Amino acid sequence: MFHPFSFLLRPDTESATWRPGRRVPMVMAAAVLLGAFGAVPSVQAGSAAVMMSVESVTIRERGEWYTRKLAIGPAVRDSGLMAPERTRIGAIHWRYHLPSAPGEWQVMLCQASHCALLDARRGKLTLPETILATAPFSLRVYRNGCGVLAPAAQLEDIQLVLEVESLG
Could you read off the pLDDT of 62-101 as tens digits, one per residue? 999 999 999 999 999 998 888 889 999 999 999 999 877 6
Alpha-carbon gap, residue 149 to 66, rounded angstroms = 14
pLDDT at position 13 over 80: no
Which domains, from first to last, does the chain contain? 2-166 (2.60.120.260)
pLDDT at position 22 over 70: no
How confident is the model over 29-69, as pLDDT tens digits? Answer: 222 222 333 333 333 348 889 999 999 999 999 999 999 99
The SS3 of residue 75 is helix
pLDDT (0 to 100) of residue 6: 34
